[in-house]
């Protein structure tokens, strides 16, 4: 029984990872479809694939299925990806995200598929025609019905490039909500979209430090930074600062604004919303030299709040005179222990409302 359990586990792992897979050609798939005498809709096919006894009895070579599904991975020949079965007019069946094992179907692309089929991205709604060969599911045809958010963004702006990725665009592809739309089965690991388009890319962002610096045993200083507005505050960015940047990161204080440049290392998962950047340079933006809040705050012109980044700045600090926080954040910063300007970090005697 133990040996049989190990054999079943290794076989399932091989099918999921595509290791040692003898991938057939598109011609072999067409031949299998021609010889097949049985067919079933994709939801039934996916439900049967999740039960071993029924899988052994029904899903023999040549079983064909068709239907509408959502692509749940980057498409490559010989690499496993997932299809989420849908019903009716593209509506999700119950449990497609909450219970991934029930309605997700692992499939492969055969050798020689048309190039257009490889351009489908996670989240795209497609009409697919599948066939079972040697215990694995292969795609015969895949026709696009509608683009997902990831595909629409890539079509409009092209693939992400170094130093041109805004945090908003990163959130469209890699946030928790984006992973749900892409039908990602990962929980704590990186998604296929992150691995293909964002991992290793250089970004230049600015954010608000939410916690005091933390030092790891290897000498790396960790900073938790909130980039963007309140809507993205629940998915902070973790900065890994080493070498020359570690000393600068150690001097930062909670509530200060930092500007950083680095490479994207990891993506926050479904429950661990930590997007990690390996920092190459870290600096405190000069409020008088073209920062998002500097010139406007010094000149008395209202800009966005330097703390929440989503509300108009209406209050100024005395004596520095920086008008850089909204009314709500001014109430939080009114206590003497917190009363320091978020732009210049100069202690303040009071915070006053400035009228246009």
How confident is the model over 159-173, as pLDDT tens digits? 999 888 988 889 888
Band the pLDDT of 354: cuts 50, 70, 90: confident
pLDDT at 99: 44
pLDDT at 291: 41
Instruction: Please tell me whether the overall predicted TM-score, pTM, comes out greater than 0.85 for this model.
Output: no
Band the pLDDT of 17: cuts 50, 70, 90: very low
Q: pLDDT per residue over 91-138, tens digit each?
A: 334 433 344 444 678 889 998 888 888 889 998 999 999 988 877 889
Q: CA 72, 74, 78 angle in degrees (round to 5)? A: 105
Q: What is the DSSP string of 278-300?
A: EEEEEEPPPTTTT-TTHHHHHHT
Cis (ω within 30 of 0) for the bond into 274?
Answer: no
pLDDT at 201: 94
- Residue 271 is given by DSSP the state S
Band the pLDDT of 297: cuts 50, 70, 90: very low
Q: pLDDT per residue over 34-76, tens digit each?
A: 887 778 888 777 666 665 555 555 556 677 888 888 888 888 8
What is the rounded distance in angstroms from the CA atom of residue 119 to the CA atom of residue 115? 7
Q: pLDDT per residue over 330-346, tens digit each?
A: 887 776 666 778 777 77
pLDDT at 325: 86
Q: Are strands 237-241 and 257-266 parallel, antiparallel or unpaired?
A: unpaired
Give the rounded percent of residues in the chain with a pLDDT score beyond 70: 73
Q: pLDDT per residue over 229-251, tens digit each?
A: 655 556 788 899 988 888 888 88
Long-range Cβ contact pairs of 44-50 (< 8 A, separation 24 or more)? 45/85, 45/105, 45/130, 45/137, 46/83, 46/85, 46/102, 46/103, 46/104, 46/105, 47/102, 47/103, 49/105, 49/106, 49/137, 50/101, 50/102
What is the rounded distance in angstroms from the CA atom of residue 204 to the CA atom of residue 91? 38
Between 45 and 258, name the one with better pLDDT: 258
Average pLDDT score, the chain: 76
In 3D space, the residue among 237, 234, 204, 242 whose CA is nearest the CA of residue 223 turns out to be 237
pLDDT at 57: 53
pLDDT at 53: 54
Query: Does 352 score more than 70 pLDDT?
Result: yes
Residue in the structure block whose two tokens are 């215990």: 135
Query: Does 174 score more than 60 pLDDT?
Result: yes
Q: pLDDT per residue over 175-190, tens digit each?
A: 888 887 887 765 567 8
Segment 312-332 mean pLDDT: 84
């Amino acid at each position: 029984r133990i040996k049989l359990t190990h054999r079943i586990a290794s076989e399932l792992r091989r099918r999921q990872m595509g290791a040692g897979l003898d991938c057939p050609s598109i011609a072999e798939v067409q031949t299998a479809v021609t010889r097949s005498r049985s067919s079933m809709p994709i939801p039934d096919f996916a439900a049967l694939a999740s039960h071993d006894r029924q899988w052994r009895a029904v899903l023999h070579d040549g079983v064909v299925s068709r239907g509408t599904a959502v692509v749940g991975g980057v498409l490559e020949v010989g690499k496993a990806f997932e299809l989420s079965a849908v019903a009716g007019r593209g509506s999700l069946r119950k449990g497609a995200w909450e219970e991934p094992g029930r309605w997700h179907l692992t499939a492969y692309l055969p050798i020689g598929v048309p190039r257009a089929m490889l351009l489908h991205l996670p989240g795209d709604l497609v009409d697919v025609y599948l066939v079972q060969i040697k215990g694995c599911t292969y795609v015969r045809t895949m026709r696009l019905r509608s683009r997902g958010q990831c595909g629409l963004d890539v079509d409009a702006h092209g693939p992400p490039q170094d130093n041109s990725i805004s945090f908003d665009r990163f959130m469209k592809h890699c946030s928790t909500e984006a992973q749900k739309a892409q039908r990602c089965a990962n929980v704590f690991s990186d998604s296929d979209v992150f691995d293909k388009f964002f991992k290793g890319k250089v970004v230049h962002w600015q954010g608000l430090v939410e916690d005091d610096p933390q030092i790891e045993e290897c000498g790396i200083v960790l900073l938790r930074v909130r980039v963007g507005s309140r809507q993205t505050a629940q998915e902070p960015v973790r900065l890994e600062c080493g070498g020359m940047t570690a000393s600068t990161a150690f001097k930062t204080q909670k509530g200060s604004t930092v500007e950083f440049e680095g490479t994207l290392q990891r993506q926050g998962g479904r429950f661990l919303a930590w997007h990690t950047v390996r920092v190459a340079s870290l600096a405190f933006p000069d409020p008088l030299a073209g920062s998002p809040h500097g010139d406007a705050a010094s000149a008395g012109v209202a800009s966005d709040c330097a703390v929440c980044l989503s509300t108009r700045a209406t209050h100024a600090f005395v004596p520095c005179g920086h008008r850089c926080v909204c009314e709500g954040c001014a109430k939080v910063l009114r206590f003497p222990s917190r009363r320091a300007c978020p732009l210049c970090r100069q202690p303040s005697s009071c915070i006053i409302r400035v009228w246009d």
